[in-house]
Amino acid sequence: MDFLNVLTGTVVPFLIVLTVLVFVHEMGHYLIARKNGVRVEVFSIGFGPEVFGWTDRVDTRWKFSLIPLGGYVKMFGDADAASRPSDAPMTEEERAVSFQSKRLGQRAWIVAGGPLANFILAIVIFAGLFTFVGQPFSPATVGEVIADLGRIRGRFPARRPHYPGRWR
């Protein structure tokens, strides 16, 4: 195989699928964080230097980075990728929108939002496949019925008496 075929036939489709999965995963974190009142500073698809991006009306920086093998959502008050609290002092308004100041249940839902979004995506994809493509199967068909085959082979008696209410 030449390099161009490998690149267009394997690498590019892999990166497209991975980008979609990462986007859905990070969007799960983002949506639940915003629902719980956490300010999100950065929503990034990829790592490394920013290729392009924009800042929305709630001051979240949406960006695509050079290395498209993952992504992250940086919430207000995070010092690093491990979501350790920042050492900088916060005002009461800033504390109200930081990830670390939320209750344990809210933080757990925010952290679980990414995997939950991936599960929902998998359910939607499989439901769509089964709806529009279906599941291949071989229908059972009867080619021919041979009369009295069981009696001919001696497996069944010619007549079986029936006595209602009695077991034999």
Q: How far is CA 27 from the centre of its chain?
A: 11
For 117, 126, 149, 163, 167, the CA distances from 157, given in Å and listed in that order, are: 61, 50, 11, 16, 17
Count how many Cα atoms sit within 13 Å of the Cα of residue 147 in the half-sphere of its side chain: 0
Residue written as token pair 């499989």: 126
CB neighbourhood size of 32 (10 A): 19
Is 92 catalytic? The answer is no
Q: Which residue is catalytic, options 26, 92, 93, 144? A: 26
Whole-angstrom Cα distance, residue 46 to residue 66?
6
Q: How far is CA 55 from the centre of its chain?
A: 26
Indicate which residues carry an active-site annotation.
26
